[in-house]
């Protein structure tokens, strides 16, 4: 990963951490007020409901951002040399597969030619 990609990842990671912190604090606020605050306190229910709504919205945003960051990292997470080595290895594997297929075809042709020659000698 070069410096530009590292900075991009740092920004995406920071946004994910912020979403996660908001999510944790919203859930903690809802649970704490639900348990600690007395039932006679009027703003208890609206604050708990608001915290739950904030938690759900933040969870949705976090999941979306996490998935996009994970996909970006799968592409850009390796160094250029590692990506080039992987591409070379894939090309070599493809060449080896093609070479094996061609050799098999050539062997079949040679065997067929030998059979024809023997048939001509025997006939």
pLDDT tens-digit readout, 60-83: 999 999 999 999 888 887 777 877
* Same-domain pairing of 50 and 87: no
Contacts of the segment 50-57: beta carbons below 8 A, 24+ positions apart = 51/26, 51/27, 52/26, 54/22, 54/26, 55/23, 55/26, 55/27, 55/30
* Same-domain pairing of 87 and 68: no
Contact 12, 72 (CB under 8 A): yes
Domain with 104, as residue range(s), is 79-123
pLDDT tens-digit readout, 53-62: 999 999 999 9
- The pair of structure tokens assigned to 94 is 């493809």
pTM of the complete model beyond 0.75: no
* Same-domain pairing of 61 and 104: no
C-alpha distance across the termini of the chain, in Å: 70
pLDDT tens-digit readout, 13-25: 999 999 999 999 9
């Amino acid at each position: 990963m070069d410096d530009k990609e590292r900075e991009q990842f740092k920004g995406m990671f920071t946004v994910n951490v912020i979403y996660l912190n908001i999510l944790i604090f919203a859930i903690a606020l809802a649970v704490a007020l639900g348990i600690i605050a007395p039932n006679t306190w009027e703003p208890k229910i609206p604050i708990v409901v608001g915290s739950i709504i904030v938690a759900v919205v933040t969870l949705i945003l976090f999941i979306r951002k996490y998935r996009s960051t994970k996909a970006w990292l799968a592409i850009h997470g390796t160094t250029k040399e590692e990506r080039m080595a992987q591409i070379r290895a894939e090309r070599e594997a493809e060449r080896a597969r093609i070479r094996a297929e061609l050799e098999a075809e050539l062997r079949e042709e040679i065997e067929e030619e030998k059979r024809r020659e023997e048939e001509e000698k025997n006939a």
